[in-house]
Amino acid sequence: MNAEPADQIRLLDVQALDVRLQQLAHRRKSLPEHAELDSLTKDHQQLRDLLVAAQTEESDCAREQTKAEQDVDQVRGRAARDQQRLDSGAVTSPKDLENLQHEITSLARRQGALEDVVLEVMERRESAQERVAELTERVASLQERIDEATARRDAAFREIDDEATTVTKERGVVAAAVPADLMKLYDKLRDQQGGIGAARLHQRTCQGCRQELAITELNEIRSAAPDYVARCENCRRILVRTTESGL
């Protein structure tokens, strides 16, 4: 394949722009905000799980407290009715009076025990409420950090993407000035060789694979026509000759 020396030099410009695009893509994937967001998101999910568990415990305690308070009200109401019967004098039989007094005493003990249950449940509920409040605050604080990191990441994305758009447009202009067959070969090699399809021959060394060319290879390139498209024997990339090639 032959191509004018100026076209081959222009191919180095295309390569430089492609390298810049690779760098921008790598930078986009390697932003520190990615790792930061991964860590924050995991912590946020763990805290949310703990918050849901605390909210569930508080809700369970609320139902348990309501049930215990209802039990106390029932016992209290029954004791009040028994006391009213006792005070009314309607019960005259000594045995019935004894049974009624015994029931009132039993209900008082029962009420005391149930009130103790209510207090114990209230304490557990208060503890759960405090835990909910603490976790809610921590979740909100962590969400703020996530939002801040997301904003920084998105700002970096915009900056990188804007530059990539500019570089892509510039590449299109430069590539359009390179012969189609040379660009086709370059693109094929670039795909095969990790993004580098053309390299400068500098001081007898291929800048693509960093290998110094053998003397026979150098002689062949030295004697070739200026429009000859040389290839590195080692990496097969396009070798572009310049005044600093050492030929």
3-state helix, strand, coil in the chain (%, to 5): 75, 5, 20
Q: How do residues 7-35 score in pLDDT, each as one tens digit?
A: 999 999 999 999 999 999 999 999 999 99
228 burial (CB, 10 Å; 0-12 / 13-18 / 19+) is middle
Average pLDDT over residues 147-163: 98
Q: How do residues 191-239 score in pLDDT, each as one tens digit?
A: 999 999 999 999 999 999 999 999 999 999 999 999 999 999 999 999 9
Of the given ranges (41-45, 63-67, 88-92, 189-193), which has the lowest mean pLDDT? 88-92
Amino acid making up residue 157? F
Q: Which domains does the chain have, with CATH numbers?
A: 5-25+179-241 (no CATH), 31-159 (1.10.287)
pTM here is: 0.76
Q: How do residues 87-109 score in pLDDT, each as one tens digit?
A: 888 877 888 888 888 999 999 99
